[in-house]
Structure 1
C-alpha cells in the first residue's frame, strides 16, 4: 500500500534544491569576476619579477633600495628599466648620441650574422612603435585555409615592392596577419587581394578576444557602417608601392 506524499517534505526538498542552485550560481558568478582579475594580477606580477631578475643584477648595490630598507620590492627593476630607456632615448636624439649610434650601427654592419639579426629587429621595432597609427588598425575576415572556411585576421599594411609587383597584378595586395588560437602572438603572414578581404566593424581588441577565447567571447553586433578604406596610407607611399 502506497504511503501518502507529505507536502511538507516536498517543500523542504524544493527549498534545498533552490538554495543549492543559488549557491552554485553565486559561485560561478564569483569565478567569472575573480578569474580575469586574478590572471591579470598574476601575469603582471610574473612579468615584473622577470624584469627584476634581468635588470637588478646590472644595477650597482648602493642604488638598490633593499640595501637600506631590507625588503626586496617587486617592480624596482621595472622602474630602473624605464628610467634607463628614457635616458638612452634622450641621448640618442642629441648630436653626440646620433654620432655614437651611427658608429655602433656601422660596427654591426661588419658582422655578417649579427647584422642580419639587428637589422631585422630594428625594422620590426620601427614598424611597431614608430607607426602605431597604421599597424593592425582593422580586423577582417579572410577565406583561409581554403574556400568556404573563414578566419579572423588583422590588416597590417598594403603589400609593397616585389611582393605586390609579382603577385598583385591589376589589384593591389593587403598584408594580413592571421593569428592562431589561443595564442594570438603566433600566426601566419598572408597576402590577399582587396576583394578577398572583408573588413569587420568590431575593434582589433574585440577580434583578439574572440581569437583568444576560441570563439566563446563574441562582441556585441554593431550596426552596419559605411564602408571605409581598408588601409589609410599617404598617396605618395601608395604610388611608390606600385613601382
Structure 2
C-alpha cells in the first residue's frame, strides 16, 4: 500500500512539474499568436488589388502585423508635431460627443497613458504599505499624488497607491497613504506582480508566510 501511494505521489509530482513547464509556454504562444493574428487583419485595410494574394498569388503571414507596427509609428510621428496634435484633438472631440464611445475611449486612454507615460511614476515603483490593518503588510504600486481637495484636507501629505488582489492583480484597491508610511522596494514591477500572484505576505520581525491561491 505504501509503495503504491509513493508511486501515485511521484506521478502527481511529475504531472504538476510538466504542467508548470508546458502551461506557460502554451499560453504565451497562444497570446502571441492571437495578437499577431489580430494585427495581421490590418492587411484588410488595403484595397483588394494591392493585397499579397493579388500581387504575388499567395498570402504572406505576418505582413499585416508589420503594417500595423508601421501605422502605429506613423501615427506617433504625426502626433509629435503641431498639426498632428490638432487632428487628434479634433478626432477626440468627435468621439466625446458619442455617449457610450466617450466613456469607453476615455477610460481606455487613461489606463494606457498611466502605464505608458514616461513622465509619470505611476506603476513604476513597488512599495510596502500597512494594509488592511496594522502589522499586516501588502505589496502596492505607486499611482501618483492626489491633488486638490483630497490633499488639502489631509493632515499630512498622502500618496495614492494601488493594492492589487490575487489571483487577478489587474483588480484591487486604490488607497491614500501618508508618504512617510510607505516603504519603497528595490524589486521590479514584474517581480512585484509575481509576488502578488503567489500571495507572499511579510510581517517585519515575524516569520514569513506564503499563501498560494
C-alpha distance in 1 between matches for 2:93 and 2:15: 61
* In structure 2, C-alpha distance between the alignment counterparts of 1:207 and 1:201, rounded to whole Å: 10
* Contiguous gaps of at least 5 residues in structure 1: 1-13, 219-243
Q: Who wins on radius of gyration, i.e. which is larger?
A: 1
Residues 163-242 of structure 1 aligned to structure 2 (within 5 Å): 163-166=150-153, 168-169=154-155, 171-215=156-200
Shift of 1:71: 4.2
Counterpart in the other structure of 1:151: 138
| 1:221 corresponding residue in structure 2 | none
Gap change, CA 1:108 and 1:23, over 3 Å in 2: closer
Q: Does 78-87 or 144-153 show the bigger shift?
A: 144-153
Distance across 2 between alignment mates of 1:108 and 1:20: 60
Q: Does 1:85 align with 2:56?
A: no
Which stretch shifts more, 78-87 or 122-131? 122-131
Normalising by structure 1, we get a TM-score of 0.63
1:96 aligns with 2:69: no
Give aligned pairs, total.
198
Cα separation, 1, equivalents of 2:59 and 2:91? 39
Q: Give the deviation of 1:175 after TM superposition.
A: 0.9
Alignment of 1:33 with 2:18, yes or no, is: no
The verdict on how the C-alpha distance between 1:164 and 1:117 changes in structure 2, with shifts beyond 3 A counting, is farther
2: CA distance, partners of 1:81 / 1:117: 22
Which residue in 1 is equivalent to 2:32? Answer: 44
Deviation at 1:176, TM superposition (A): 0.6
Map of 1:237 onto structure 2: none
Cα pair 2:140 2:163 within 8 Å, conserved: yes
SS at structure 1 position matched to 2:167: coil
Q: TM-score, normalised by structure 2?
A: 0.70
Unaligned runs of 5+ in 2: 203-213
Q: Secondary structure at the match of 1:185?
A: coil
Q: Tell me, yes or no, if the aligned pair for 2:115 and 2:123 is still in contact at 8 Å.
A: no
Distance, in Å, in 2 between the alignment partners of 1:179 and 1:69 is 51
SS at match of 1:131: coil
Q: Distance in 1 between matches of 2:10 and 2:133?
A: 46
Alpha-carbon distance in structure 2 between the residues aligned to 1:118 and 1:181: 27
How far, CA to CA, are the matches of 2:185 and 2:139 in structure 1?
A: 9
